[in-house]
């Protein structure tokens, strides 16, 4: 009998946001039977697999892959000031997409060689006395980042060996998650439904987990936010932007395109460094609320999302250098061509960044 990966039966279902009962009804089997299949208590017949593949819109070969299905990531946090929790259904959909993309990345990497120019250092937060400022400075030094604003954080992360991918995150409020997969480069997923300034902060936050957190702890989200702030706005560099100057909304707006962080992140950093009087800071926070800028800052200050390069380069190698047609490429990835186009936006030209990949 053909091998059936029970975990991928669950992944295919959850990727469409279907409950087990809804899926069982569509496949025309009892829910308890589908549960037994998904938990490897029983093996579905070839006929059931074909029906499941049709309902889930995947090739039958998708269920025959031997990849280990990953569980929830170490850290999941909702978008700042947008929503305070993530539903089980949303989380299931995110985990399903992560598993699908990881499997496809693994197959794409089989044909290319990705040699990072740098490494992601490990500075255990407990071993450094929870001194996040010091760790952020060490990481900047390790990556030889010049003083001042970071021009392209995504390029730095990918040169250090991470892969950055923009995703809908299952249409949830999750801003980003990181998956350190054994035997594979770390993959950082960012929600594309967030402004570029917050996407950069989220990326710095996710890098913090890779650098500082081998194991979860109750303060890890707060620590990651503190790292992101210190990493993007080092104390010694940002002070000159505030000292001797009136800190108001105009000043924060002027600094936003220079430092590529939100006005609120700038104010929070100034406040944490004692560069703005508490009374003035409280007034400015009220101004953010009054002008409804806590979620949407002035549109004229927006800038484009940074463009990841590793994934687009891999796509280009397979579709142009290797000469795969999209149907053949989809077959290699055990996915349908129309869903592959949607997942990777293959209607657009394959513009790539300067990240080094070569034929294996």
Mean pLDDT of the chain: 90
Residue extents of the structural domains in the chain: 1-69, 70-229+304-360
Instruction: Give the DSSP letter of residue 164.
Output: E
pLDDT at 173: 78
Q: What distance in Å separates the CA atoms of residue 261 and residue 200, rounded to the nearest whole number?
A: 7
Residue (of 158, 214, 219, 164) closest to 189 by Cα position:
164
User: 358 by DSSP, 3-state: which?
Assistant: strand
Q: What angle do CA 61, 321, 333 make, to 5 degrees?
A: 10
What is the CATH number assigned to the segment(s) 1-69?
A: 1.10.260.40
Counting as low any pLDDT under 70, the low residues of the chain are 1, 73-85, 348-360
Give the separation between CA 70 and CA 336, rounded to whole angstroms: 22
- The tens digit of pLDDT for each residue in 235-265 reads 999 999 998 888 999 999 999 999 999 999 9
* Separation CA 292–CA 297 (nearest Å): 8
Q: What is the pLDDT of residues 36-53, one digit of tens each?
A: 999 999 999 999 999 999
Residue 85: predicted pLDDT: 64
Which residues is 358 bridged to in the sheet?
113
Residue 113, beta-bridge partner list = 358
pLDDT digits (tens, 9 = 90+) for 13-25: 999 999 999 999 9
The whole-number pLDDT of residue 351 equals 42
Q: How many CB atoms neighbour CB 340 within 10 A?
A: 18
């Amino acid at each position: 009998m053909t091998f059936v990966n029970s975990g991928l039966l669950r992944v295919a279902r959850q990727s469409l946001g279907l409950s087990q009962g809804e899926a069982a009804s569509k496949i025309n089997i009892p829910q308890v039977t589908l549960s037994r299949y998904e938990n490897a208590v029983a093996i579905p017949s070839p006929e059931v697999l074909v029906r499941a593949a049709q309902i889930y819109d995947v090739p039958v070969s998708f269920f025959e892959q031997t990849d280990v299905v990953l569980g929830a990531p170490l850290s999941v946090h909702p978008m700042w000031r947008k929503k305070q929790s993530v539903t089980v259904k949303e989380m299931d959909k995110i985990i399903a997409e992560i598993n699908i993309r990881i499997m496809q990345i693994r197959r794409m990497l089989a044909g290319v060689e990705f040699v990072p120019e740098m490494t992601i250092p490990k500075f255990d937060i407990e071993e450094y006395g929870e001194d996040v400022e010091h760790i952020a400075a060490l990481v900047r030094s390790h990556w030889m980042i010049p003083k001042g604003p970071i021009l392209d954080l995504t390029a730095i992360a990918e040169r250090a060996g991470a892969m950055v991918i923009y995703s809908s995150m299952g249409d949830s409020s999750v801003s980003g998650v990181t998956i350190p997969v054994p035997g594979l480069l770390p993959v950082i997923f960012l929600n594309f439904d967030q402004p570029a300034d917050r996407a950069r902060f989220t990326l710095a936050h996710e890098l913090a987990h890779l650098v500082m957190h081998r194991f979860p702890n109750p303060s890890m989200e707060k620590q990651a936010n503190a790292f992101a702030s210190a990493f993007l706005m080092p104390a010694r560099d940002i002070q000159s932007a505030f000292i001797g100057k009136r800190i108001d909304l105009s000043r924060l707006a002027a600094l936003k395109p220079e430092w590529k962080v939100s006005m609120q992140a700038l104010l929070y950093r100034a406040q944490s460094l004692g560069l703005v009087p508490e009374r003035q800071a409280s007034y400015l926070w009220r101004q953010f609320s009054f002008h409804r800028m806590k979620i949407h800052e002035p549109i004229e200050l927006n800038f484009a999302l940074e463009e990841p390069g590793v994934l687009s380069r891999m796509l280009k190698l397979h579709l142009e250098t290797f000469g795969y047609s999209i149907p053949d490429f989809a077959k290699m990835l055990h996915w349908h061509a129309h869903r592959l186009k949607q997942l990777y936006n293959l209607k657009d030209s394959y513009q790539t960044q300067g990240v080094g990949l070569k034929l294996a």
